[in-house]
Amino acid sequence: MGSSRPNKNIVVIEPDKDTRDLSAVLFEEADLGVVECATWRDGLAALERAGPSVAMVFADVEADGDGRRLAAELNRRWPEVRLVLTGRRGARTDLPPGSRYMPKPWRPLEVLIAAETAAGLRA
């Protein structure tokens, strides 16, 4: 009987090093792989290298200025990858399908549940 191993990598795109490190530790403690990036450009390059092993992108919407445009690019090229955008502004309603927005400061448990769900570790 074959079973597929769920994708277990998270790409974190966050310009603030302390916030990026906190996010990475949270995901690593849940046995999820983490690729840390400071910019969307680096995050998209990481997705190109990692391919189907990425379950979720956890990104600051303002990492490179126009998070909406880059979120649309992510959705176009990797529609199976879940996207959680975060930022200091109010709720976003202009996100691609399957994406969600978590305002900063985000709740670690809420972020962890989103990552575990994306990785197939939680229903």
pLDDT digits (tens, 9 = 90+) for 37-57: 999 889 999 999 987 899 999
Q: Does residue 114 sit within a domain?
A: yes
Q: Does residue 4 sit within a domain?
A: no
Q: Does residue 33 sit within a domain?
A: yes
Radius of gyration of the chain (CA): 13
Average pLDDT, the chain: 85
Looking at the 3D structure of the chain, how many domains does it have?
A: 1
Q: Does residue 85 sit within a domain?
A: yes
Q: Which domain holds residue 86?
A: 9-118
Counting DSSP H helices and E strands in the chain, the numbers are: 4, 5
Grade residue 5 by pLDDT with cuts at 50, 70 and 90. very low
| pLDDT given for residue 87 in this prediction | 85
Q: Does residue 98 sit within a domain?
A: yes
Q: Is the pTM here over 0.85, yes or no?
A: yes
